[in-house]
Amino acid sequence: WNYFGGSDILPVLGLLKLTRLGRISIIISRLSINETYKAMLKIVQLTFYLYLINHILGCIWFWIVNQNKLWAPPFDWVVLPAINTNLYSYGTSYEYWSCFYYAILIIAGNEIGPRTNFEFIFISIMLIVGTFIKGSIFGEMANLTTIMTEKQVKFQSQVDSANTAMKNLDISLDVQQQVRDYFLFTQITLDEQEELKKFIEMLSPSLKLEITIHIFSLELKKKLLKDQPKANEIVRLIVTKLDFVLSVPEEILLNQDDESSDMFFIAKGECGVNILDNKKNENIDYKILKPGHYFGEISLLYGCRRTATVYSRNYSTLGRISRESIMEIQSDNPAFMLKVKQRVLEYSDPNKTFLMQTLNKIEFLNGIEEEILTEILYSFRKTNYKGGSTILKVDQNADKFMVVYDGIVEFYTHFENFEFVLENLYSGSIFNY
């Protein structure tokens, strides 16, 4: 305590070590944690600084008043004569916490009751300094508290606005709950997507490539490149050709029967697969795709139209690569897409099952390898005909066989100026082979 009371002043120089505390801010700023946790650490840091300031001020104040022992704490004015106090006789612990307490009051601008000229000067200076300390530390704490609750306040504001709008529109309670559940379900992925978008925009092309590799490499190795001898090399080739796709809930990424051939990889979020079968039944969420899954590979491999509709179930982060880029990678790595083809053979969606059962009716296709049969299956091109349209004519060359996917096909002929119906073909029938 009384560093200056003896002949040895060297221990006071130890206060210079306090300059090292400035490193705490640097350490916190470099931590790989989110903004909320970083703000919490900064509040803890400021609280420690506030304690340290009061500790030093309390020690200095005790050294000052201990020189002549004239000062008495304000509370002692009430219960004891002004010149009497227990401060100097109750031991070190009582002295420390009493002076620490009154140091807080000095910073807060309260009356301390200095007795000597030096005490008046010191208290006057510290009251002014305390004003700046309060404004700086407590202002920063308020700012950090705002940062900690910013996302929550923003989210609550959105929910409140939605609740008000739904109440004004007199929407049913069930629908209101669905809306609130939607907000809760998508909030986390929305924040992640917005943060990723801002982060990617700040990076140089080389750093962006490294981050993209980090985002997709683990999942690509798990699903697409498992046991591949050149997995790291292929991952880098794929990622250099990927485009980032940031999708919103219910955004359609692929439409069934569209002509496109890009392949997608999911890094964050979820996607749903809807399939419209030959009976016009829509299989909603036939499959849920999660991080690590990919889609669009069938059109990419076989050049056919999209076999399903894929939409984003929440805020999702995906990578998109073109057919040309995949074929370029495969030319140098022939085994690259074998695993993908093998997985396609295992698919059993309603349309594939329907066409496979139909092809099995053709005798000369019996016994053909499944891989070749699958390639034939995805070589079909769907064509829509209006009622009454002519599909085939007499003497027309049979250059392709056809499958009735939906509807009715009528075979007829003319005899003595009369039209005779020979046969009606329904869904699953084959003709012209």
Residue 272's pLDDT is what? 94
Q: How far apart are CA 47 and CA 65, in angstroms?
A: 27
Residue 22's pLDDT is what? 66
Using CA atoms of 288, 370, 221, 260 in order, give the dihedral in degrees to the nearest 10: -60
pLDDT digits (tens, 9 = 90+) for 191-207: 777 777 788 888 888 88
Residue 3's pLDDT is what? 43
Q: How far apart are CA 2 and CA 306, in angstroms?
A: 84
Residue 261's pLDDT is what? 84
| pLDDT mean by block of 10 residues, the chain; 433 residues | 48 62 70 75 86 89 87 68 68 88 88 86 90 85 77 76 83 84 71 76 83 80 72 82 86 91 89 90 90 90 91 89 88 78 87 89 84 88 88 82 90 82 88 81
What is the three-class DSSP state of 318?
A: strand
Q: Which helix (H) or strand (E) holds 54?
A: helix 35-65
Cα dihedral 229, 231, 236, 240 sign: positive
Residue 180's pLDDT is what? 80
| Sequence-separated (6 or more) residues with CB below 8 Å from residue 68 | 116
| Sequence-separated (6 or more) residues with CB below 8 Å from residue 341 | 301, 371
Amino acid symbol at 240: T
Domains of the chain (ranges, CATH numbers): 3-151 (no CATH), 190-346 (2.60.120.10), 352-431 (no CATH)
Residue 383's pLDDT is what? 87
Q: Which helix (H) or strand (E) holds 266?
A: strand 263-268
355-393 CB burial, b ≥16 within 10 A, e <16: beebbeeeeeeeeeeeeebbbebbebeeeeeeeeeeeee
End-to-end CA distance of the chain: 105
Which candidate, 398, 340, 325, 336, places its Cα nearest to that of 374?
340
Q: How far apart are CA 131 and CA 145, in angstroms?
A: 21
